[in-house]
Amino acid sequence: MRAGQPPVVAMVVYTNYVTDARVRREAQTLASNGFRVLCLTNRNGEEARRFVLGGVEVRELDVPKYRGKSARAYLASYIRFLGAASAECLRLRRQEGLDVVHAHNMPDFLVLAGLLPRVRGAKVVLDVHDSVPETFASKFSDGAVRWKILCLEERLSTLVSHRVICVNHPQRDTLVARGLPESKTFVSMNVPDPQIFPLRRTERPLRDDASLKLVCHGTMTARAGIDLLIEAVHRLRGHIPGLELHLWGDGDDLEGFRALARRLEVSDRVHFRPQGFPLEDLPAHLDSMDLCVIGNRRTIAGELLLPVKLLECVALGIPAVVPRLKTVSYYFTDDMVSFYEPGDVDSMAGAIATLHARPELRREQPALARAFLREHGWDRQGPELLAFYEQLVGS
């Protein structure tokens, strides 16, 4: 830190900053409390841009984001981005007194962008959004050799880091079980920004007609169980005449889901919006929905997820139908959400039908679910992140 200047933080992340709520929330919290924050991202358009959003300086490096299912292509894109980010972080350390390199995964090895700045005195933080070994094991089935390589990548990345931020407590426990010292960890949960998703204080009015609008927003992939949601609509269409499913987001498997809706003859009930909605506009659109449905399958990665789309709906008072997975069950009970057995379309459809038939549950569950955000919301975690950073740069 240079005398008389605010601490300088470079966030390194392979994402679209504008739409990445977690990265924006952390960056803007620091920027509004005395830190200078630069976010180094991949290119998200035809040309690399530089702009300021919410007090954060965003610099897109000239590396396009890869979307597809090739592990080699993902790796090549990540390595190109790491090289560009490493050069920029070293320049920032030399010329602008960079104090902290804060790398968001995936992958973990993006934290190596802070290796040379660390040698020159900067602090290095690894922010684990998703556990890499579990995520890649769920996405690519190459067996034990890949698992060992990914665990080694995780181990080396955490060794380079001064501190490791985990996204929830079960994930932290998993990393600690693999050898990460618990004293090196800090939990910063992926909860909604209260400026965008204010916690509803009053009971949400219920629709008084026969319709039932389901919503799932986010990445459209098989891992997210979008096909299960479409199949549940197919099974319920004769029982709930006004049933609709709204799917907001893009993804590798989107065209397959469109084809499935046509094959099951529910295209008139399943409404796709690949472009989604701007984050600031999302609450108003969600507020027109009746139920949030999460389709995540039971995988080793899925067990460690606490979907932020669930928490956004909790903040808005929208009742939720969710799979009974490890991390969701860690924070939520049966009186807060409607659980179903992961991967079981009949179980999911039954939970939806029960909520439709019992409006009192649609009132009671959201009120009890909001206890989660009163305990873990950003109003509490934001100050904790600031204290974490003040200790980091102070040391």
Per-block average pLDDT, block size 10, for the chain (395 residues)? 83 94 94 97 94 97 85 90 98 96 96 97 97 82 78 96 98 96 97 91 76 94 94 96 95 94 97 93 95 95 95 97 98 98 98 95 95 95 96 85
Q: Is the dihedral of CA 277, 278, 284, 289 positive or negative?
A: positive
Q: Are residues 65 and 127 in the same domain?
A: yes
Q: Are residues 185 and 229 in the same domain?
A: no
**Cα separation of the two ends of the chain:** 11
Provide the number of structural domains found in the chain.
Answer: 2
**Per-residue confidence (pLDDT) for residue 140, from 0 to 100:** 66
Q: Model-level pTM?
A: 0.90
Cβ contacts of 91 within 8 Å, gap of 6 or more: none
| 243 DSSP 8-state letter | E
Q: Are residues 143 and 133 in the same domain?
A: yes
Q: Which domain holds residue 145?
A: 8-191+377-394
**Per-residue confidence (pLDDT) for residue 142, from 0 to 100:** 59
Q: CA 59 to CA 77: how far, in whole Å?
A: 17
In a domain, 202, yes or no: no
Q: Are residues 222 and 290 in the same domain?
A: yes
In a domain, 254, yes or no: yes
In a domain, 78, yes or no: yes
List 125's β-bridge partners, or say none: 102, 163
Q: Are residues 299 and 386 in the same domain?
A: no
Q: Are residues 122 and 257 in the same domain?
A: no
The DSSP string of 74-104 is HHHHHHHHHHHHHHHHHHHHHHH---EEEEE
Are 81 and 110 contacting, i.e. CB atoms less than 8 angstroms apart?
yes
Range list of β-strands (E), 221-369: 242-248, 270-273, 291-293, 320-323, 338-340
In a domain, 141, yes or no: yes
Q: Are residues 326 and 366 in the same domain?
A: yes
Q: Are residues 324 and 176 in the same domain?
A: no
List 338's β-bridge partners, or say none: 321
Q: Are residues 174 and 285 in the same domain?
A: no
Q: Which residue has the tokens 């240079």?
A: 2
In a domain, 3, yes or no: no
**Per-residue confidence (pLDDT) for residue 3, from 0 to 100:** 64
**Per-residue confidence (pLDDT) for residue 1, from 0 to 100:** 59
Q: Are residues 229 and 283 in the same domain?
A: yes
CATH of the domain at 171: 3.40.50.2000
Retrieve residue 310's tokens.
Answer: 């669930």
Retrieve residue 178's tokens.
Answer: 């693999």
Q: CA 111 to CA 102: how far, in whole Å?
A: 7
**Per-residue confidence (pLDDT) for residue 113, from 0 to 100:** 98
Q: Are residues 124 and 256 in the same domain?
A: no
Q: Are residues 370 and 355 in the same domain?
A: yes
- 226: nearest Cα among 262, 244, 190, 251: 251
In a domain, 33, yes or no: yes
In a domain, 1, yes or no: no
In a domain, 200, yes or no: no
Retrieve residue 261's tokens.
Answer: 């809706």
Cβ contacts of 316 within 8 Å, gap of 6 or more: 197, 200, 204, 283, 286, 287
Are 313 and 285 contacting, i.e. CB atoms less than 8 angstroms apart?
no
Are 248 and 215 contacting, i.e. CB atoms less than 8 angstroms apart?
yes
